Copies of this chain bind each other. A is one copy, B any other.
Amino acid sequence: MEKKKNISMAVIKRLPKYHRYLGELMNNDVDRISSKELSEKIGFTASQIRQDLNCFGDFGQQGYGYNVRELHGQISNILGLTKVYKTAIIGAGNIGQAIANYTRFEKLGFSLEAIFDVNPKVIGLRIRDVEIKDIDFLSDFLKENPIDIGIICVPSNNAQKVCDTLVKNGVKGIWNFAYVDLVVPEDVKVENVHLSDSLLTLSCLLTDIE
């Protein structure tokens, strides 16, 4: 096993979109596609598509294009969708509950193992068969049940503390919905969903200036 060292973040950020479009093509029983055709659907240039894919291997065939099913499988592989990731949600507020209720993530191979919260009113409740546990037991739980991805949905002021607990107990992936930038060791990966940033970006695009 060797790290994907030289793959730029720009490329990685495009991979999920390839995965999605190829999945749709598969569902529509399309067998093959050229970079040119895919380009028209997905909105990247054909050149960029070929460059991106060639970061990972020679998946195409001259004169033919790409086999949709095979390419989808390759990208699934690159995205790490061939294994099951164990996840835990910390914070069962609005966003935590929303994420817990999603079923799409399960289908992609992300298994929700536990939910934690501080609020006695929600502790003991169940979301899709997963009981909300007292956050005081987070550390103990992680020691017994290794988790791959911690999904942080607590208020910003508690997020770093929760993050530290996760990291201390071996969690290597953090999906962070709190509006803070978390500090983690180098081997821990953080992916932020900063909804306010997203909304402000939109607001900026809608605004003219003097």
Q: Which residues of A contact B (CB under 8 A)?
A: 1-4, 12-13, 15-17, 19-20, 43, 56, 77-81, 85, 94-95, 97-99, 101-102, 104-105, 108, 110, 148-149, 172-175, 179, 181, 189, 191, 193-210
Question: In the complex, are the beta carbons of A149 and B196 less than 8 A apart?
Answer: no
Q: Which of A77, A85, A198 has the most CB of B within 10 A?
A: A198
Minimum C-beta distance from A114 to chain B (A)? 17
Q: What's the Cα separation between A17 and B204 when bound, in Å?
A: 13
Question: In the complex, are the beta carbons of B108 and A208 less than 8 A apart?
Answer: no
Question: In the complex, are the beta carbons of B80 and A204 less than 8 A apart?
Answer: yes
| Chain B residues in 8 Å Cβ range of A77 | 209
Q: What's the Cα separation between A28 and B203 when bound, in Å?
A: 26
| Chain B residues in 8 Å Cβ range of A148 | 206
Q: What's the Cα separation between A208 and B104 when bound, in Å?
A: 23
Q: What's the Cα separation between A15 and B209 when bound, in Å?
A: 14
